[in-house]
Chains A and B, each alone.
Chain A
Amino acid sequence: DAMVIQNPRYQVTQFGKPVTLSCSQTLNHNVMYWYQQKSSQAPKLLFHYYDKDFNNEADTPDNFQSRRPNTSFCFLDIRSPGLGDAAMYLCATSMGGLVGYTFGSGTRLTVV
Chain B
Amino acid sequence: AQSVTQLGSHVSVSEGALVLLRCNYSSSVPPYLFWYVQYPNQGLQLLLKYTTGATLVKGINGFEAEFKKSETSFHLTKPSAHMSDAAEYFCAVSERDAGNNRKLIWGLGTSLAVNP
Binding site for B on A (CB under 8 A): 4, 6, 31, 33, 40-43, 45, 48, 50, 53, 55, 88, 90, 92, 94, 96-106, 108
- Using CB atoms and an 8 Å cutoff, list the residues of chain B in contact with chain A: 32, 34, 36, 41-46, 49, 51, 90, 94, 97, 99, 101-104, 106-109, 111
A97 close to B42 (CB less than 8 A): no
Query: Is the Cβ of B45 less than 8 Å from the Cβ of A103?
Result: yes
CB pairs A–B below 8 angstroms (25 shown): A40-B109, A40-B111, A42-B106, A42-B107, A43-B44, A43-B106, A55-B99, A55-B101, A92-B44, A94-B102, A96-B102, A97-B103, A97-B104, A99-B49, A100-B46, A100-B49, A101-B44, A101-B46, A101-B104, A102-B46, A103-B43, A103-B45, A105-B42, A106-B42, A106-B43
Inter-chain contacts of B45 with A (CB < 8 A): 103
A105 and B101 contacting across the interface, CB-CB below 8 Å? no
Q: Are B41 and A106 in contact (CB under 8 A)?
A: yes
Give the number of residue pairs across the A-B interface with Cβ within 8 Å: 63
**For residue A99, which residues in chain B have a CB less than 8 angstroms away from its CB?**
49, 51
From B46, B102, B108, B109, give the contact of A97 (CB < 8 A): B102
> In the complex, which of the residues B42, B102, B108 has the most CB atoms of chain A within 10 Å of its own CB atom?
B102
- Give A33 Cβ to nearest chain B Cβ, in Å: 8
With A and B bound together, what is the CA distance between A90 and B45 in angstroms? 12
Question: Which among B51, B103, B106 has the greatest number of chain A C-beta atoms within 10 A?
Answer: B103
The reply to whether A41 and B42 form a contact with Cβ atoms under 8 Å apart is no
Chain B residue with Cβ nearest A88: B41
Please name the residue on chain A nearest to B101 by beta carbon: A50
Chain B nearest CB: distance from A71 CB in Å? 16
In the complex the two chains form, is A100's CB within 8 Å of B107's CB? no
Cα of A71 to Cα of B101 in the assembled complex, Å = 17
> How far does the Cβ of A94 sit from chain B's closest Cβ, in whole Å?
8
Which of B43, B46, B94 counts the most chain A CB atoms within 10 A?
B43
